[in-house]
Amino acid sequence: MGNANVKKCSSCGETMKLDAAFCTNCGSRFIENANAKKCSSCGEALALDAAFCTSCGSRFEGKETQSAGGGSPIGEQLMELANDFLSVREVIPARFEFSSQTGAQAPVQKVKIKYDAVVQLEPEKKQLTFWEKMMESSVGTNAGFFSETNVQKGIEVSKKIHGHLLFGGKYGFEYSKLREVVKAIAGEEGWKFKTVIFKPKMNTNTKGKYSNISLPDKKILLPALALLLIAVIGLTSYFYFSGRSKPTLSQTNYENGYPENSDNTGSLEPRVLQGDGTVAEGRPFIETDRDVYNYGEKIIVNYYNAPGYARDWICIVPAGSRNTAAGNYHYIPRGGRGVLIFKSPRRPGRYEARAYYSYSPFQYIVSARYGFTVN
């Protein structure tokens, strides 16, 4: 007695499940009775105009067909190809992706096979583009450990991957049938069938405003954007470092030792510092309100023409110290001109007030300095 839950392929006689749309052995498509439909509850065959199932009494609910590819039912037929071994998903309208992963295993060897395929519909051309890739990886022992991978893609995918497992017998997996089935679906709808070697790109406007840019245009656009970015970085670096590359007059004159200020009178009286107008022709400049201090008196430093960067700072160090000496320091709170007040050095001697404008942690360039004495 035959099994009521299976049916046979009319082409090769292979036994299949009742809900199978295609034969997994030869790829032939099962043609349903055009004058019948099935009950969704019990599977009983019904006449096309039947409103209720004559077996279980369930009401027959007609379902709307959501077809892809400009009104063609191809999309629905592609989705019906999904089974326990092959997954199908509609990524975007008119694009379907297939994937499968299987393998065989023996005590000393393992074979893994991964299969991917893409079907892309072009309704305006009535064309179906098909791409597939199959990768076989094998690991095991054969007079030592071995591992190898075999990749087939595009139109190179053979009808069958087969081999022999050590102590495990032969194995074989056939995926090229999918290509024949998809080709048959396209032919039934009057569409062209095309196989390609390279995986087709997304053909949709939903990927962003640059999705319609052709490959040659992208080859021109991307290098142009890269050059523009390099130019912007170069200009930014130039303006950022240009203020450091030019040594100030005071820096140039004081490199070989402790400077004597040109107006050093030795007076203990505070001098009147300039409050308005241009100082030092706009160059970085600092000076103390005295040239000589008594021990314990606060040191008042006036700074001018500061660029206003967050890392601008002024310090007080013993005369002749290295440029990397920080000493007692304060950050400059704002650009332009201003006043900073420092505690008296710990011991009498000769000292310098040094300004570091546009400071970089990788280099210590003194923008301006001024010498004074603590008695």
Q: What is the mean pLDDT of residues 135-161?
A: 61
Least reliable range by pLDDT among 50-64, 69-83, 343-357: 50-64
Whether pLDDT at 266 is above 70:
no
R_g of the chain computed on alpha carbons: 42
pLDDT score, position 16: 75
Torsion of CA 219, 225, 228, 234, to 10 degrees: -100
pLDDT score, position 46: 66
Highest mean pLDDT (candidates 24-28, 77-81, 173-177, 247-251): 77-81
Q: How far apart are the first and last CA of the chain?
A: 121
Residue 264: band (very low, low, confident or very high) from pLDDT cuts 50, 70, 90: very low
pLDDT score, position 173: 58
pLDDT score, position 334: 84
Token pair in block for residue 9: 């392929």
pLDDT in tens, 110-128: 878 888 999 999 999 999 9
Calpha distance 336→374 (Å, rounded): 28
pLDDT in tens, 361-370: 777 889 999 9
pLDDT score, position 57: 67
Residue 226: band (very low, low, confident or very high) from pLDDT cuts 50, 70, 90: confident
Q: What is the mean pLDDT of the chain?
A: 75
CATH level 2 (architecture), domain 249-374: Sandwich (2.60)
Least reliable range by pLDDT among 43-47, 74-78, 102-106, 175-179: 43-47
Residue 248 carries which DSSP code? -
Q: How far is CA 185 from CA 27, 30, 108, 193, 282, in A?
A: 11, 12, 42, 9, 81
Q: What is the mean pLDDT of residues 348-354?
A: 95
Whether pLDDT at 50 is above 50:
yes
pLDDT score, position 86: 82
Q: What is the mean pLDDT of residues 133-139?
A: 83
Cβ neighbours for 359, distance < 8 A, ≥ 6 positions apart: 309, 311, 312, 313
How is domain 71-204 classified at the CATH fold level?
Aspartate Aminotransferase, domain 1 (3.90.1150)
Task: Say if CB 303 and CB 337 are below 8 A apart.
Answer: yes
Q: How large a percentage of the chain has pLDDT more than 70? A: 62
- Name the nearest CA neighbour of 375 among 350, 343, 353, 341: 350
Whether pLDDT at 199 is above 80:
yes
Whether pLDDT at 322 is above 70:
yes
pLDDT score, position 14: 80
Residue 64 carries which DSSP code? -
* CB-neighbour burial class of residue 219 (10 A; exposed 0-12, middle 13-18, buried 19+): exposed
Whether pLDDT at 210 is above 90:
no
Highest mean pLDDT (candidates 82-86, 200-204, 229-233, 352-356): 352-356
Token pair in block for residue 45: 């065959």
Residue 216: band (very low, low, confident or very high) from pLDDT cuts 50, 70, 90: low
Whether pLDDT at 71 is above 90:
no
Cβ neighbours for 212, distance < 8 A, ≥ 6 positions apart: 205
The secondary structure of 181-230 as a DSSP string is HHHHHHHHTT-EEEE-SSPPPP--STT-TTTT--HHHHHHHHHHHHHHHH
pLDDT score, position 62: 46
